[in-house]
Amino acid sequence: MAGVHGWSLAAVSTELMADAQKKPWLAVPIADCGEPLVPLPSYLPRVLPHPYVCLGAPYPESCGPWHLRLAVVLHLLRARSILKVTHPHWDLQVFDAWRPIAVQTFMVNHTIQAEWDRSSKAQQADPSWRYQIEQQVLHLWATPSQDPRTPPPHSTGAAVDLTLIDSTGQPIPMGSAIDELGPQSHPDHYARAPQHGAVHNNRRLLRHVMVAAGFVPHPWEWWHFSYGDQLWAWETGHVEAHYGTVMLPSLTLAS
């Protein structure tokens, strides 16, 4: 996808790419266990149609977004069961699951372009504005690295973005949209805002059920959880991550 005035992710400065990679968990080595991607169970709620597919994201024909590593799916179903104990009429709703590097690249470029389009002419005239947009986007979106030592989390099949819904399928208020740029996406953004106590409690509930099922939360995104990737290994004290970038078709089970 072409970027602003013809620039794309390839044009992002080396310095910025290095800054965006300053995440301690990326130093954790990976020993991929070879576990396959499997489709999410059909009864597990998800956002339809898939938002990135609607934008034209280049998923391979052989494997769409609704896949995760086998153990990750099992842990996700465990989280759902934990939620049902205290909130039997609520459910988890998956927003995104497996995301190949080509889709990560597409979405980074799309988000940079969208932020540029929302900018004022005065902002666009500022030579540093492009850098500021890139920095903000790459703080939220993982760099679509081709380096097998630093894979984007979703490319490993270990990360899932999700929210809560009620018995009618309506989203539970969480205080911001998934993928929204800005401080409101931080998991504890509303912790000291009594007027948003319900939103904060909803985020805490989602985090509780996911952590209880073995996932770790992303430090900057209330919707993102992972099991078996580098962030998970770093947070839980494992010396190696279980999952690297999924290489199709060898790590895919038939749907």
Q: Using CB atoms within 10 A of its CB, is residue 181 exposed (0-12), middle (13-18) or buried (19+)?
A: middle
Spatial contact of 9 and 108, defined as CB atoms under 8 Å apart: yes
- Return the active site residues: 221
Burial class for 109, CB neighbours closer than 10 Å (0-12, 13-18, 19+): buried
Torsions phi, psi of 109, nearest 5? -65, -40
Query: Contact, 98 vs 154, CB < 8 A?
Result: yes
Contact 161, 178 (CB under 8 A): yes
d(CA 130, CA 140): 16
- Asked if 56 contacts 102 with a C-beta cutoff of 8 angstroms, the reply is no
Please state, as a whole number, how many other Cβ atoms lie within 10 Å of the Cβ of residue 235: 17
Q: Strand locations in 184-232, DSSP E? A: 216-217, 224-226
Residue 22 CA to residue 212 CA, distance in Å, equals: 28
